[in-house]
Structure 1
Amino acid sequence: MPTESEAGWPRNYAATVDIALRPLAQLILERRRQRPFMVGLSGPQGSGKSTACEVLSDLLRGHGLRVASLSIDDLYLTHAERQILARDVHPLLATRGPPGTHDRALGMSVLAALRAGESLALPRFDKSTDDRTPEADWPWFEGPADVVLFEGWCVGARPAPMADLATPLNALERNEDPTGVWRAYVNTALAADQTLFAQLDALIQILPPDFEVVVGWRREQEAKLRAARPGAPGLMDDAQVARFVAHFERVTRRLLEEGPARADAVLRLDAERRPLSFSVRQPAPPPSTL
């Protein structure tokens, strides 16, 4: 019989649990040397990061650990704050998601509080309204945390050399950012975001077969949101999703190329999100004292 937690997991998810998430929970248990152990979970839009975090949280709680979960999506600037950026810097900054549209100070304060063993309300963002959830509605986490799971599409991403930004990558960059102001701002913000990612003790990466499947995955994700909140103003149709994903393409492609060599563990998926492999990078041995 499945446990209460397992009964709530998605159907046909057993292979992902057995191939990757149970071994990942065991890896966290083995490598945890302090409280809390902060784990970043990176993967492109629609790759199943949120579900993986929920299941991984259940597995770790089954070992008696207190687990706090936070998404980088929960750190988006408010709608009003992004409108100011769009007016003062570049119109594309009205769109949530890329580096530069997150509240880095909020993220640092939340992770610092969790690192200090505090209890606190964890921020949340409502994508159906494209705005931050009122603070009174944020869920309360009772500390101290043993493990912190911090997931997001660009968690662990690194900025590109500025010279790489010169040539537009897609129609969005070519038509709406011809002078490169927006992509330079995003890249500079990502460089500053390294202070946030430096708080992590381990990085796990979910890899799709290629970038092209991401649009389809994101469309599926948005369709679920539309079904749950019909008529909500912040939701997108398929054409809007394709344009939305173009905002993320440059950073995502770079992370898919160079991230696996740095990640502590990598879960590779096929186009149907079925697990192909799970690999763990062994930590470097301590330097010799001889």
Structure 2
Amino acid sequence: MTTTIQNLINQESLPASYADTVKKTILPLAQHIHSLRKAREEPVVIGINGAQGTGKSTLTEFLRELLTTHYRMPTASFSLDDLYLTRAEREKLAQDVHPLFITRGVPGTHDIALGQRVIDQLKAAGPGTETRIPVFDKSRDDRSPQHLWPVFRGRAEVILIEGWCMGAAPAASESELMQPVNELERSEDPEGTWRQYVNRCLKGGYGRFFNQIDSLIMLRAPSMECVLEWRTLQEHKLRERSGVAPKESEIASEAAQPSRIMSDEEVVRFIMHYERITRASLDEMPARADCLINVAEDHSFGEPLIRQRS
């Protein structure tokens, strides 16, 4: 197992100290998922929620490899990001419902039916079945051609699904929904059309999709302010590596996509799309998550707080 962990650390360009995180946080989670699967007859679906920058993709990669290799439980994984509607589908949604839907991210911009088909096929697969796992190409802001999707062979005993809004709940009341939380909602969605549609999606198809989760893991960021800081820092690092300066004139409602380097102003606007649901999840999800992991300002993980479902 030590070799596997070290290989993953090298693969993900993580500091050597991440081995302590694996021992303290990730291995107990893997054991929890292993025990959960052993107690049931069917494959288990694990949801991993975490705001931008919390490290959910890295966590998912470690869990998938450890469960498959060392617990002998074939594990498939995908991100909600890989279920984004195609660019053409979002353009139609933006035209028919609200212009803000051109920016991918919020509920309503995913093909949840596609995600359900993947889960159903992974669960029902025989030894020789091949299941293609969707991939979204953020550099093109469009779904990758199906022949480029990776193939999972056989039946999955564990299915990991990670996403910033995984397991999110709809707004508690109409009055809460209609109170803007930021300038984006105030100036670009004054009638609440965009956020009402997002909320209906959470109540409907997304809610049904989330209800099949056997265990919800939450990576809890310290605050919304930290999420903005982390996302801004990420763009600064990308800028340093590429040597490309952002063009302030490119700040526009349709341009705020994480597929290219954003200016600080673009990051602020982009994060506003996520703010309402992120804040609500930070407030209410810790009380109902099956596993809660506190993420510190330096991105370090605390020990997982695991609850047993009755």
Q: Do both proteins adopt the same fold according to a TM-score greater than 0.5, normalized to the shorter chain?
A: yes
Matched, 1:200 2:213: yes
Question: Residues 125-274 of structure 1 correspond to what in structure 2 (within 5 A)?
Answer: 125-160=136-171, 161-192=173-204, 193-222=206-235, 227=241, 234-237=259-262, 238-274=264-300
Matched, 1:14 2:19: yes
Report the AA paired with residue 210 of structure 2. Answer: F
Deviation at 1:114, TM superposition (A): 1.4
Q: Aligned partners of 2:140 and 2:242: how far apart in 1?
A: 13
Contact 2:50 2:163 in 1 (8 A): yes
Consecutive unaligned residues of structure 2, counting only runs of 5 or more, are 247-256
Distance 1:220 1:145, change over 3 A: farther
TM-score (norm 2): 0.86
Greater CA deviation, 12-21 or 153-162? 12-21
1:287 maps to what in 2? none
Q: Aligned partners of 2:222 and 2:228: how far apart in 1?
A: 13
1:99 maps to what in 2? 107
The one-character-per-residue Cα deviations of 1:190-241 (angstroms, maximum 9, x if unpaired) are 1120111122111100001111111122234445666589899942413222
Aligned sequence identity (%): 47
Greater fraction of residues in helix = 2
Consecutive unaligned residues of structure 1, counting only runs of 5 or more, are 285-290
Q: Aligned partners of 1:229 and 1:128: how far apart in 2?
A: 18
The one-character-per-residue Cα deviations of 1:120-154 (angstroms, maximum 9, x if unpaired) are 10000111211111111000001210111000001
The one-character-per-residue Cα deviations of 1:56-93 (angstroms, maximum 9, x if unpaired) are 11211222111101100000001111111111111100
Deviation at 1:119, TM superposition (A): 2.8
Over aligned residues, Cα RMSD in angstroms? 2.1
1:3 maps to what in 2? 3
The one-character-per-residue Cα deviations of 1:92-136 (angstroms, maximum 9, x if unpaired) are 000000000001111111111112135310000111211111111
2:251 maps to what in 1? none
TM-score (norm 1): 0.92
Matched, 1:56 2:63: yes
Contact 2:29 2:304 in 1 (8 A): no
Deviation at 1:31, TM superposition (A): 1.4
Contact 2:6 2:19 in 1 (8 A): no
Matched, 1:65 2:73: yes
The alignment of Structure 1 onto Structure 2 pairs a total of residues equal to 284
Q: Aligned partners of 2:132 and 2:306: how far apart in 1?
A: 33
2:49 maps to what in 1? 42
Contact 1:128 1:225 in 2 (8 A): no
Report the AA paired with residue 267 of structure 1. Answer: I
Greater CA deviation, 275-284 or 65-74? 275-284
Deviation at 1:169, TM superposition (A): 0.4
Q: Aligned partners of 2:106 and 2:191: how far apart in 1?
A: 18
2:253 maps to what in 1? none
Distance 1:218 1:57, change over 3 A: same
